[in-house]
Amino acid sequence: MSTGRLTIDLDAIVANWRALDAMTNCRTAAVIKADAYGLGSVQVAKALFKAGVRQFFVAVAEEAAPIREELGPRPEINVFSGHMKGDTEAIRALNLTPMLNSVDQLTHHFETLPGHPFGIQLDTGMNRLGMEMQEWAAIAGIALDQNPTLVMSHLACADEPDHPMNPHQLENFRMMTDGIGVPRSLSSTGGILLGPDYHFDLTRPGIGLYGCEPFTDATPVVALEFPVIQVRDVAAGEVVGYGNTWQAERASRIATISGGYADGIIRHLSDRAVFFHGDIPCKLVGRVSMDLMTVDVTDLDEVPKALSLIGPQQSLDDVARQAGTIAYELLTQLGARYSRRVYGK
């Protein structure tokens, strides 16, 4: 096998959902947008549905089609982007629940799909999606008369528990929604961890399901290793890779492994990433290229057949820190070339 191997543990995803659900006294949905953060939305949704999840969130209407086809009519599938022009037929045919983000969307929804379920998204300070306080005050009565299924907002800094934005947004959300008599939702994974004041009627965990921070007690979900194509001896003073960015300071052994930025191993990991052979760390040297990476295996006692990037020795969050980014970015960019081994179907 000449491609990297990505291992996905569906049982771990279910365990993480159950653990997050147990932290609250409300309903717990699941966010499976971006193809379940790159891990396969159909298989993830199927496993979570079997575990009892009945509400899912996707980013755009198109993402819902394979999930509806697999799971049938029973789960509620909510769309964060709301009711975009061009989405009307999909929302009707797939029985989706758009989270309406503006007065224009509200008007469009009522005109094109009267009586069809919808939710409302409010902006409590993030300035990204949702109706601002004045907009909501102007149309709240009209919207609430049509019985929305949910009123929600999104926290900007929930992964920083002491950030003053958290209580600020909570106060705004309460000011905008107290007494409306409609189910409310404010929290994704980080908000769940902030405690019950942020839970309301429904939580929407995303990244925590997939084993990543800020849910530090999560069960790991993915493992990733790459096969070694070739091992060569490099003399002191020789260089490796594009741009001659790494020069051997000693006689070295360099393993060339199959994988690169076409597989989601971003170029910013050049000269930073650490791979493992068992418990022994091996540093990536030189630039990450499209299909290949070079790793210093001088200190190994044997020629490795494969090297691990994500596994027991190193989490996805650890690799993200090496790249100066977050686990979300790396996870969602894992490419289609991997041989995927899925457990827990």
Name the strand (E) or helix (H) holding 171.
Answer: helix 165-177
| C-alpha span between 125 and 263 (Å, rounded) | 36
CB 90 within 8 Å of CB 62: yes
d(CA 194, CA 126) in angstroms, rounded, equals 17
With tokens 């947004």, the residue in question is 169
Can 242 be counted among the known catalytic residues?
yes
Six-digit token string for 155? 């926290």
Tell me, what amino acid is at 6?
A: L
DSSP string, 28-46: E-EE-HHHHHTT-HHHHHH
The answer to whether residues 314 and 276 touch, using CB atoms and an 8 Å cutoff, is yes
Contacts of 264 (CB under 8 A, 6+ apart): 38, 330, 333, 334, 335
Please give the Cα distance from 20 to 48 (Å, whole number). 13
List 50, 242, 305, 345, catalytic entry: 242
CB atoms within 10 A of CB 49: 18
- Residue 33 catalytic? yes
Structure-block tokens of residue 115:
């009586």
Q: Which phi and psi (to 5°) does residue 10 adopt?
A: -65, -35
Using CB atoms within 10 Å of the CB of residue 270, give its burial: 0 to 12 exposed, 13 to 18 middle, 19+ buried.
Answer: buried
Tokens of 29: 């949905």
- Measure the CA–CA gap between 141 and 18, rounded to whole angstroms: 36
Helix (H/G/I), strand (E/B), else coil: 296:
strand
Which residues have a catalytic role annotated?
33, 242
